[in-house]
């Protein structure tokens, strides 16, 4: 499972301090999510597009990551903008309120995903965890993130092994009771195994003297370019906030 395909590159966004990127991402996505009106949404979309261009992310990956968002948006377009009793075909008419809502959702969602791709996906996950720890996010929470991420990989591999073992014994999913029961067993097995594993991991940590502290070895180097970037992100945030306030 490769969740970090975009994390390695040489563009400026890749080289910025993850703390600067995390701060910018939180500010900009919040301003985008909360702002009202088309101007703020289009501005945010523009920023997102500029961001991924700046980070020189490969098109193929972008399409792959935007597809689920827009699949969801397409469903919204099927349901939201219509109302009964209009002059159009099938007796359906356009509902201006629904139309705005569907536009809102589509543009905002794309803008936010693009921003996150440019700012967050360009760092390996463990740098993001470290940025959180540097900000004095409680140790327990940081641990939780790390373990979740670490064992997501183990679980995924375990799932893969189990399902291969099932296939090796001629299992092919159908729509019948046997199939559902087999999947239920697979799921149950994963749960039991992850519980057992959690216990052993904890024991292994105790053996190494663990008492609840998350140690930081990596120290990021905050440079001039991070100051400049953060100043720029601050201006972008103010622009979005101003546009958002004008629209509401």
Partner 1 sequence: MDLLRLTGIRFAWPEGPPVLDGLDFTLAEGDRLGILGPNGAGKSTMFLLAMGLVRPQAGQIWALGRERIEEADFLEVRAGIGFCFQDADDQLFAPTVLEDVAFGPLNLGKGHHQARHIAERTLERLGLAGFEQRVTWHLSGGEKRLVSLATVLAMEPKVLLLDEPTTGLDEATQARLEEILLNSELAWAVISHDRGFLERTCTRLLRLAGGRLEAL
Q: Give the Cα separation of 170 and 131 in Å (integer).
A: 47
Q: Does 215 bind partner 1 (CB under 8 A)?
A: yes
Rounded Cα gap, residues 87 and 199, in angstroms? 64
Helix orientation angle between 38-54 and 96-119, rounded to the nearest 10 degrees:
30
* Alpha carbons 50 and 39: distance in angstroms, whole number: 16
Window of 25-33, 124-132, 160-168, 175-183 that interacts with partner 1 by CB under 8 A: 124-132
Q: Is 205 in the site for partner 1 (CB under 8 A)?
A: yes
Q: Does 207 bind partner 1 (CB under 8 A)?
A: yes
Buried b (16+ CB within 10 A) or exposed e, 86-113: eeeeeeeeebeebeeebbbbbbbbbbbb
Nearest approach in angstroms of CB 13 to partner 1 is 20
Q: Can residue 206 be called a binding residue for partner 1 (CB under 8 A)?
A: yes
Q: Which window, 11-19, 67-75, 149-157, 176-184, contacts partner 1 (CB under 8 A)? A: 149-157
CB nearer to partner 1: give 163 or 194.
194
By rule CB under 8 A, what count of residues binds partner 1? 25
181 binds partner 1 per the rule CB under 8 A: no
Binding site for partner 1 (CB under 8 A): 124-126, 129, 146-147, 150, 153-154, 197, 200-201, 203-211, 213, 215, 217-218
């Amino acid at each position: 499972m490769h969740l970090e395909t975009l994390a390695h590159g040489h563009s400026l966004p890749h080289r910025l301090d993850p703390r600067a990127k995390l701060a910018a991402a939180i500010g900009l996505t919040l301003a985008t999510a909360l702002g009202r009106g088309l101007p703020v949404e289009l501005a945010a979309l523009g920023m997102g597009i500029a961001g991924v261009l700046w980070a020189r992310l490969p098109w193929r990956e972008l399409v792959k990551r935007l597809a689920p968002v827009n699949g969801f948006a397409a469903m919204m377009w099927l349901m939201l903008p219509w109302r009964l009793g209009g002059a159009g075909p099938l007796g359906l008419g356009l509902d201006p309120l629904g139309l705005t809502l569907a536009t809102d959702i589509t543009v905002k969602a794309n803008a936010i995903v693009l921003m996150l791709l440019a700012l967050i996906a360009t760092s390996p996950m463990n740098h993001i965890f470290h940025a959180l720890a540097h900000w004095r996010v409680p140790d327990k929470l940081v641990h939780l993130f790390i373990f979740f991420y670490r064992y997501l990989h183990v679980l995924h591999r375990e799932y893969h092994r189990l399902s291969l073992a099932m296939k090796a014994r001629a299992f092919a999913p159908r729509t019948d009771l046997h199939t559902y029961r087999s999947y239920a067993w697979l799921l149950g097995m994963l749960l039991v195994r992850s519980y057992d594993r959690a216990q052993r991991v904890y024991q292994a940590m105790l053996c190494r003297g663990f008492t609840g502290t998350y140690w930081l070895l990596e120290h990021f180097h905050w440079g001039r370019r991070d100051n400049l970037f953060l100043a720029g992100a601050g201006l972008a945030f103010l622009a979005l906030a101003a546009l958002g306030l004008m629209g509401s």
